[in-house]
Amino acid sequence: MSISKREQFIETLNRFAPEAFTEYLTDLILSAKVKFKIVPGRSTKLGDFRVKSGEEKPTITVNGDLNKFSFLVTAIHELAHLEAFRDHGLRIQAHGIEWKQAYRRLMEPILVSKELPLDIEKALWKNFTNTKASSCTDIQLSRTLKQYDKSPGTTLEEIPHKSRFHLNGKSFEKGLLRRSRYLCTELKTGKPYLVHALATVELIEKYEHK
């Protein structure tokens, strides 16, 4: 007996999101009539929402290497972009009031379910009352979610100032904190880069600042 498209979606999402929420997430995706893609991990973003002229459906992508709770939060974030777009069009701020309202509406059933780990539930409630642009701009929520990574590794904020490190095939020196990111210098070119405080890095031990 063949399984339905909904059952296939749930089966797939069970590999990436907490099983307590895969039915809810599946129903949101299918009712939204959106292209939903799980893609290889990207260092610059956790997910995105795109609308292209000439394409019948908008596209949402979410990194497939996220832990299950980060995947869930990112998917809801991008679905909120879709809902805000469909209700208000493109002429709105990316993370303005329209997106915030959509995000809160989609996230509320998850928060009231009591199916989340307590630390994530508390961090999300705090984030919920003053919604940031994403989980990445809320450092405390990001720290809480990162604890559920299989291999958390060393984060940029954990290494000393002026330490040198590898990230995405490049080498950098850690600089000063700018809100949630550090201004780092690529060693080869001298170019400045803003790197998220919770980026997982590989410390170059012999250059560790003393």
pLDDT digits (tens, 9 = 90+) for 100-116: 999 999 999 999 999 99
**Count of H helices and E strands in the chain?**
6, 10
Contact 85, 75 (CB under 8 A): no
Angle at 111 between CA 108 and CA 116, to 5 degrees: 150
Q: What is the mean pLDDT of the chain?
A: 88
Which range, 117-126, 138-147, 197-206, is most confident?
A: 117-126
In CATH terms, 154-207 corresponds, of 2.30.30.30, 2.40.160.20, 3.40.50.970, 1.10.150.130, to 2.30.30.30
- Each residue of 7-23: pLDDT tens digit? 999 999 999 999 999 99
Q: Find the range with the poorest average confidence among 70-79, 133-142, 177-186.
A: 133-142
Q: What is the Cα–Cα distance from 87 to 70, expressed in whole angstroms?
A: 26
List the chain domain ranges: 5-146, 154-207
Q: What is the Cα–Cα distance from 51 to 65, expressed in whole angstroms?
A: 24
Whose tokens are 């990194």? That residue is 63
Instruction: Say which DSSP state 148 is in.
Output: T
Long-range pairs of 169-176 with CB within 8 A, sequence gap ≥ 24: 171/204, 173/207
pLDDT at position 132 is 55
pLDDT at position 66 is 94
Calculate the CA 150 to chain-centre distance: 16
Return the number of other C-beta atoms located less than 10 Å from residue 101's C-beta. 16
Contact 51, 78 (CB under 8 A): no
Q: What is the Cα–Cα distance from 10 to 200, expressed in whole angstroms?
A: 30
H helix or E strand, kind and range, residue 60: strand 59-63
Contact 25, 32 (CB under 8 A): no
Angle at 107 between CA 148 and CA 24, to 5 degrees: 85
Please state the pTM of the whole predicted model.
Answer: 0.79
- pLDDT score of 137 more than 80: no
Mean pLDDT of 70-99: 91
